[in-house]
């Protein structure tokens, strides 16, 4: 008996496992090539996916056929449609979606049709009405490719980026109405919460020699005073200060309370300033207070005593320098008035106002140079805690002093015959 012999036909072999043996599959090395497969555009490869003997555009069953557009200006953006084929004509580019090139003769213009808005007053803004859609702006002038609601397209000074003039009844910046004018012309902003920036603001004489008055801003809780250079801008930060003065006190009682122009003390043609720091320690006495006479010029940050011509020192916890003023009260020229509301030389905390026109160099007790001393008479009266030197009100040619005494009954009689 002869043994069984198995014979396998060559055409039954399916090497790529696509279900079609080699005798039927025109390329048994590719599973995506066999009768009935999807014919796709592959111009570079020329593969007959469906084994019908035809490839790409020659095969009516071809799928995924791209669209081709002109690109006459070679900007890479499609112009007019030219073909739907596997292989595009020379110069054509494959279309991948998006707007067509609205001007295929100009490489600088490629986006779709734009909206153009009339700009009647030629200020670069439009009211937004009367627009047209075109590739290029209309031939006549006065068309722009934007709109931001020009609220008055007949006036070139009115548009959303115009400078608003407050109080003139005209809405220059199209914000919806005229801006109400603030009562201030300039704003100077503090830098730190709680520093008391602006506790006192004083315009004093020219201490810098620039021909302009000096503006000093005090910070009652910051232990500092700032000189703001002129001319001022409308909005100015504290950091724009030309000079910052600070006080060093071991107890931290370093607040500036007052500043006035003391006049030209040293005869150099420039005014000196008087700074009142009522909490500063003098010697071993807390809260004695001091008045620093110094030039207002300079830059950077300095301690107030460095460079001071005269330092008038208080005593007995009087808090000298709480208030300062300058005036001519006796016809002898300008004098400095400095209050010490807690002075108790006469009566405890009765207060005092000291007057002097003498400013020797160095540190001196205020009492030693005082030309006059105005004292409170009641314990706790605190004379000089709040007062003001005013102009001549009685016609005698001398400045008059108005005072408010703290912690007294306003219905009390005038006990010191000063009319208050």
Structure confidence by residue, pLDDT tens digits, 374-412 = 888 888 888 878 765 555 555 555 555 544 444 443 334
Whether pLDDT at 420 is above 70: no
Residue 52 placed within a domain: no
Domain around 169 = 113-181
Q: Are residues 195 and 169 in the same domain?
A: no
Whether pLDDT at 146 is above 80: no
Could you tell me the two tokens for 235? 């909005």
Residue 358 placed within a domain: yes
d(CA 79, CA 158): 40
Which of helix, strand or coil describes residue 408?
coil
Q: Give the residue from 390, 382, 299, 381 showing the smallest Cα distance to 339.
A: 382
- Give the neighbor-by-neighbor strand order of the sheet with 224-228: 197-204, 214-219, 224-228, 243-246, 300-303
In the structure, what pLDDT confidence band is assigned to residue 157 with cuts at 50, 70 and 90? very high
Answer yes or no: are the C-beta atoms of 292 and 311 closer than 8 Å.
Answer: yes
* φ/ψ (deg, to 5) at 66: -80, 165
In order of 126, 191, 222, 258, 274, the CA distances from 326 in angstroms are 59, 31, 25, 12, 10
Task: Specify the higher pLDDT residue, 420 or 380.
Answer: 380
Choose one of 152, 181, 210: the last residue of a domain: 181
Choose one of 155, 181, 207: the last residue of a domain: 181
Beta bridge partners of 150: none
Q: Are residues 250 and 348 in the same domain?
A: yes
* φ/ψ (deg, to 5) at 314: -90, -175
Q: Are residues 122 and 265 in the same domain?
A: no
Radius of gyration of the chain (CA): 46
Beta bridge partners of 365: 313
Residue 82 placed within a domain: no
- pLDDT confidence of residue 394: 55
- pLDDT confidence of residue 12: 67
Q: Are residues 176 and 292 in the same domain?
A: no
d(CA 159, CA 171): 9
Q: Are residues 166 and 233 in the same domain?
A: no
> Which residues, 6+ apart, have CB-to-CB distance to 144 below 8 Å?
116, 117, 119, 124, 125, 126, 137
Q: Are residues 152 and 278 in the same domain?
A: no
Strands 243-246 and 235-237 come out as unpaired
- What mean pLDDT is reported for the chain? 79
Whether pLDDT at 415 is above 70: no
**What H or E segment, with its residue span, contains residue 371?**
none
Task: Specify the higher pLDDT residue, 270 or 40.
Answer: 40
- pLDDT confidence of residue 171: 93
Residue 170 placed within a domain: yes
Could you tell me the two tokens for 5? 């012999």
Q: Is the peptide bond before 231 cis (omega within 30 degrees of 0)?
A: yes
Q: What's the CATH number where 193 sits?
A: 2.130.10.130
Average pLDDT of 95-111? Answer: 72
Residue 371 placed within a domain: yes
Average pLDDT of 239-244? Answer: 81
The tally of domains found in the chain comes to 2
- pLDDT confidence of residue 127: 84
Cα of 66 vs its chain's centroid, Å? 55
Q: For residue 367, give the DSSP letter.
A: H
Q: Are residues 157 and 257 in the same domain?
A: no
Average pLDDT of 161-188? Answer: 83
Residue 223 placed within a domain: yes
Whether pLDDT at 359 is above 60: yes
Q: For residue 344, give the DSSP letter.
A: -
- pLDDT confidence of residue 7: 43
Q: Are residues 234 and 360 in the same domain?
A: yes
Which of helix, strand or coil describes residue 366?
helix
Neighbours of 152 (CB within 10 A): 19
Which of helix, strand or coil describes residue 239?
helix
Residue 67 placed within a domain: no
Average pLDDT of 250-268? Answer: 79
Least confident of 218-222, 312-316, 414-418: 414-418
State pLDDT tens for residues 33-80.
Answer: 899 888 888 887 888 888 988 998 888 888 888 888 888 888 777 877
Whether pLDDT at 418 is above 60: no
- pLDDT confidence of residue 414: 47
Q: Are residues 198 and 156 in the same domain?
A: no
- pLDDT confidence of residue 3: 47
Tell me the percentage of the chain whose pLDDT exceeds 90.
7
- pLDDT confidence of residue 315: 84
Residue 203 placed within a domain: yes
Q: Are residues 137 and 241 in the same domain?
A: no
- pLDDT confidence of residue 363: 93
* φ/ψ (deg, to 5) at 10: -60, -35
- pLDDT confidence of residue 399: 52
Q: Are residues 328 and 231 in the same domain?
A: yes
* φ/ψ (deg, to 5) at 239: -65, -10
- pLDDT confidence of residue 313: 92
Whether pLDDT at 6 is above 50: no
- pLDDT confidence of residue 410: 36
Q: Are residues 162 and 265 in the same domain?
A: no
Tell me if the pTM is above 0.75. Answer: no
Answer yes or no: are the C-beta atoms of 295 and 205 closer than 8 Å.
Answer: no
């Amino acid at each position: 008996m002869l043994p069984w012999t198995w014979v396998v036909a060559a055409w039954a072999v399916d090497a790529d496992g696509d279900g079609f043996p080699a005798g039927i599959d025109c390329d048994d090395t590719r599973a995506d090539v066999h009768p009935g497969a999807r014919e796709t555009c592959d111009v570079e490869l020329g593969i007959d996916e469906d084994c019908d003997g035809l490839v790409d555009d020659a095969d009516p069953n071809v799928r995924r056929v791209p669209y081709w557009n002109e690109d006459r200006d070679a900007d890479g953006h499609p112009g007019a449609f030219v073909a739907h084929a596997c292989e595009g004509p020379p110069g054509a580019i494959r279309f991948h979606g998006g707007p067509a090139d609205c001007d295929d003769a100009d490489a600088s213009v490629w986006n779709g049709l734009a909206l153009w808005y009339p700009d009647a007053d030629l200020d670069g803004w439009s009211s937004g009405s009367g627009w047209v859609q075109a590739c290029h702006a209309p031939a006549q002038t006065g068309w722009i490719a934007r709109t931001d609601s020009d609220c008055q397209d007949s006036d070139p000074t009115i548009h959303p980026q115009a400078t608003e003039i407050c109080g003139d009844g005209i809405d220059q910046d199209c914000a919806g109405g005229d801006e109400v004018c603030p009562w201030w012309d300039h704003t100077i902003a503090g830098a730190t919460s709680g520093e008391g920036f602006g506790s006192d603001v004083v315009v004093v004489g020219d201490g810098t020699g620039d021909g302009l008055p000096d503006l000093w801003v005090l910070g009652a809780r910051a232990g500092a005073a700032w000189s703001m250079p002129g001319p001022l801008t409308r909005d100015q930060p504290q950091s724009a200060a030309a000079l910052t003065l600070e006080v060093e006190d071991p107890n931290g009682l370093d607040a500036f309370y007052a500043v006035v122009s003391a006049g030209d003390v040293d005869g150099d043609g420039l005014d000196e300033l008087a700074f009142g720091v009522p909490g500063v320690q003098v010697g071993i006495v807390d809260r004695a207070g001091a008045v620093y006479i110094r030039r207002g010029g300079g830059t950077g940050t300095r301690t107030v005593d460095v460079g001071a011509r005269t330092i008038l020192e208080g005593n007995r916890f009087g808090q000298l320098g709480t208030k300062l003023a300058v005036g001519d009260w006796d016809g002898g020229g300008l004098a400095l008035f400095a209050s010490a509301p807690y002075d108790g030389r006469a009566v405890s905390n009765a207060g005092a106002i000291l007057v002097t026109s003498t400013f020797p160099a160095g540190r001196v007790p205020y009492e030693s140079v005082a030309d006059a001393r105005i004292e409170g008479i009641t314990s706790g009266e605190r004379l000089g805690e709040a007062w003001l030197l005013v102009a001549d009100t009685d016609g005698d040619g001398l400045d008059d002093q108005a005072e408010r005494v703290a912690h007294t009954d306003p219905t009390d009689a005038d006990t010191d015959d000063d009319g208050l």
